[in-house]
Amino acid sequence: MARCNRGHLLSLLCALHAVLINSFDIGISTKCVAVPKEMGLCQDVGYSEMRLPNLLGHTTLGEVIPKSDKWESLVRTGCHSQVGTFLCSLFAPVCLDTFIQPCRSLCVTVRDSCSQLLTCLGLSWPDALSCDRFPADEDTCLTSTSLESTHYRKLFPKPTCQGCPSTEEPGALRRVLQTFCQNNFAVKVTLAKRRNGSENAEYNVAGRVEMISPGSLFPFGTRTVIQQWLLVNANCVQKMMTPNNRAGQYVLIGDVQDSYLIVNKIYLWHRKDTQLSLAARKWKHHKC
């Protein structure tokens, strides 16, 4: 088991192992309350009222809000399109005559898609959320729906857990152009530290992404997938950041393989680095 103080997302995921969903009796008396605006995880869940206590045994909004906030990072990784739906059915179950639990199939699809992220962080899907504990699809429960077609995945590749790419100075113009030729894409991004109330830094893509060599990527989806890559590979991001952890510009170079985005090399962009700037300009007319 990984140590739970190694990174922001890792420390939050470790908390999931403390969840004991089977300790809550769904037959106890509950009340309906409005889904609070402060509960960012479930703002787009599709209903306005939730039950308390919830399916995790939380009895007050003061308890639900901070604990649910911890899972926004997991949702933002995009590990599965319904991970937010699954989590909200536990944290903020819809206020109906009875509890609507997630179906076993929903749990399985989310588990299978997000387990790679957990494995990347040295964790496994927690026993407390064993999918066998949820009702089968023939019962009244929240079912799984497949929202991601093969065509969608080709347009919007997912990031993958990977070994940390090297971060280096670009060097000579010819070397930079050769690196571009050996990869599918090259994008320039500005990374800025995000305030998350934790001592562990998390970084966001600030502003637009400059497509130096778009390859298989599309401008309208690249910012999201780069942001997801930063979350999935948070330990790599810590290593690549400048010593003062302030905003910095980087060129991320990599491939798209089987609908997964892989970053192979990172250049730190300096304004005075004429070779990298020249390579970016010459690339449009360069023949590999």
- Domain hosting 51: range is 8-133
Does residue 124 share a domain with residue 26? yes
Q: Mark which of 100, 133, 166 sits at the end of a domain.
A: 133
| Cα 44 to Cα 90: distance, rounded to the nearest angstrom | 15
The pLDDT of residue 2: 40
Q: Mark which of 71, 101, 133 sits at the end of a domain.
A: 133
User: What three-state secondary structure class fits 216?
Assistant: coil
Does residue 180 share a domain with residue 99? no
> Could you state, in chain order, the average pLDDT of each consecutive group of 10 residues for the chain (288 residues)?
47 53 63 94 92 92 91 85 92 91 93 84 78 87 70 69 86 92 95 66 87 91 92 83 72 92 92 85 88
| Cα 173 to Cα 30: distance, rounded to the nearest angstrom | 67
Does residue 198 share a domain with residue 165? yes
The pLDDT of residue 16: 54
Does residue 245 share a domain with residue 188? yes
CB atoms within 10 A of CB 38: 12
139 occurs within a structural domain: no
User: What three-state secondary structure class fits 232?
Assistant: helix
146 occurs within a structural domain: no
Does residue 276 share a domain with residue 163? yes
Residue 39's CATH number: 1.10.2000.10
The pLDDT of residue 34: 96
Does residue 126 share a domain with residue 245? no
The pLDDT of residue 10: 52
144 occurs within a structural domain: no
Cβ atoms of 169 and 266 within 8 Å: the answer is no
The pLDDT of residue 1: 38
Does residue 248 share a domain with residue 163? yes
The pLDDT of residue 24: 57
Does residue 281 share a domain with residue 157? yes
Please classify residue 224 by burial: count the beta carbons closer than 10 Å to its beta carbon, then call 0-12 exposed, 13-18 middle and 19+ buried. Answer: middle
Domain tally, the chain:
2
252 occurs within a structural domain: yes
Does residue 21 share a domain with residue 117? yes
The residue type of 70 is K
Does residue 126 share a domain with residue 185? no
147 occurs within a structural domain: no
The number of C-alpha atoms within 13 Å of 64 and in the hemisphere containing its C-beta is 29
The pLDDT of residue 3: 43
| Cα 23 to Cα 216: distance, rounded to the nearest angstrom | 47
The pLDDT of residue 115: 84
| Cα 76 to Cα 98: distance, rounded to the nearest angstrom | 30
The pLDDT of residue 182: 95
Does residue 166 share a domain with residue 121? no
Does residue 156 share a domain with residue 86? no
87 occurs within a structural domain: yes
State the DSSP H helix or E strand holding residue 209, giving kind and residue range, or none if neither: strand 202-213
Strands 166-168 and 260-268, by their bridges, are parallel
Q: What angle separates helix 173-181 from helix 274-282, to the nearest 10 degrees?
A: 40
The radius of gyration computed from the CA coordinates of the chain, to the nearest angstrom, equals 21
